Amino acid sequence: MKNWIQPLLITIAISGGVSAWADHHWSEVSYQRIPVGDHIYALMAEGGNIAVAVGEEGTFLVDDQFAPLTKKLLWEIEQLGGGTPRFLVNTHWHYDHTGGNENLGAAGTLIVAHDNVRKLLSVDGHLSALNVAIKALGKEGLPVITFSRDTSFHINGETIRVFHVEHAHTDGDAVVHFQKANVIHAGDVWFNGFYPFIDVEHGGSLAGILAASEQIIALADEQTKIIPGHGPVGSRDELIHYRDMLSQVLTTLAALKKQGKSLEQVIAMQPIASLDAEWGDGYFSSEKWLEIIYSGLEVPR
């Protein structure tokens, strides 16, 4: 099993009434470090991939996985020469990217995110597609600076542009571009190697995630290192390959929607079966994925 899938399955197990959480040994989890630029690393353990940049003017962090991992994360950052993050950007509101927020906020980290991330984190919520209930974060875990379109950080000689992509994975996604280093954190716009979860319930859409992929591709060149929300660090070519898959799926499903096909009919037709071998081995089988994305698909004109 791919290790980035586990937290999701654990959560599903909890909501299904099985107390797998208690049996989950956070102590056995360790971070994998991948250098992606000068003093910039991707950190991977469980949950969404993290980016960290360290330097004299402070540590800059993108996403923070789960609360029980914060200590390990801080230890890891220390090994890289950094300290408690000065800034943390949340790429979106999901619990596998924001679980460490309360710990870090309490430690003095300034949390920054899109306006809608703060809104969603402020109240108890629910992810129906995954049957997961989500508790509101305490005040210290909420973003203290929010933006509607974009913002930039000027730190350690780097310019880090953080910009919103609309109705993509959620309605509050941000992409983080380390301009000098030529590194991009795509958030959950990119699931490298498999069908992405799209949080249609909270404003995500297949068309939006496709458009956001296009935006990232336009910023990248052959040398760009792109950190996906889930899966291994990849290249522009790999993102193009993913974009092509999304585009094919959108075209196929839009045509079926236009014909007035119901979800049940679409599932029975197996319209994306040819893609399953390559993309269906991650979070979702194509059946489950179709269920998630089809209802939110807009009827093409």
Minimum CB separation of residue 209 from Zn ion in Å reads 11
Q: Is 171 or 188 the residue whose CB approaches Zn ion more closely?
A: 188
Work out the burial of residue 68: count CB atoms within 10 Å of its CB; fewer than 13 is exposed, 13-18 middle, 19 or more buried: middle
Q: Is 261 or 288 the residue whose CB approaches Zn ion more closely?
A: 288
Using CB under 5 A, which of the segments 60-68, 81-89, 184-192, 287-295 binds Zn ion?
184-192
Helices 206-219 and 236-258 meet at what angle, rounded to 10? 150
Minimum CB separation of residue 92 from Zn ion in Å reads 6
Letters for 60-99 (x = contact with Zn ion by CB under 5 A, - = none) are ----------------------------------x-----
Question: What are the DSSP E strand ranges found in 95-250?
Answer: 110-114, 125-127, 132-134, 145-147, 150-155, 158-165, 173-178, 183-185, 225-227
- Please identify which residue in 141, 188, 228, 292 interacts with Zn ion, judged by CB under 5 A: 188
Q: Is 271 or 284 the residue whose CB approaches Zn ion more closely?
A: 284
Structural contact between residues 2 and 282, judged by C-beta atoms closer than 8 angstroms: yes
Structural contact between residues 104 and 58, judged by C-beta atoms closer than 8 angstroms: no
Structural contact between residues 191 and 283, judged by C-beta atoms closer than 8 angstroms: yes
Minimum CB separation of residue 94 from Zn ion in Å reads 4
Q: Is 44 or 256 the residue whose CB approaches Zn ion more closely?
A: 44
Question: What are the DSSP E strand ranges found in 109-204?
Answer: 110-114, 125-127, 132-134, 145-147, 150-155, 158-165, 173-178, 183-185
Q: Is 94 or 243 the residue whose CB approaches Zn ion more closely?
A: 94
Count residues near Zn ion (CB under 5 A).
Answer: 2
Structural contact between residues 65 and 73, judged by C-beta atoms closer than 8 angstroms: yes
- Cα–Cα dist 158/63, whole Å: 19
Minimum CB separation of residue 186 from Zn ion in Å reads 11
- Cα–Cα dist 205/257, whole Å: 15
Minimum CB separation of residue 229 from Zn ion in Å reads 6
Letters for 133-172 (x = contact with Zn ion by CB under 5 A, - = none) are ----------------------------------------
Give the residue carrying structure tokens 């969603």: 120
Tell me the CB-side half-sphere exposure of residue 199, using CA atoms within 13 A. Answer: 22
Q: With binding defined as CB under 5 A, does residue 46 bind Zn ion?
A: no
Structural contact between residues 131 and 100, judged by C-beta atoms closer than 8 angstroms: no
What is the rounded (10 degree) CA torsion for 40, 43, 49, 52?
-30
Q: Is 77 or 120 the residue whose CB approaches Zn ion more closely?
A: 120
Q: Is 77 or 130 the residue whose CB approaches Zn ion more closely?
A: 130
Q: Is 93 or 156 the residue whose CB approaches Zn ion more closely?
A: 93
* Start-to-end CA span in the chain (Å): 41
Binding region for Zn ion (CB under 5 A): 94, 188
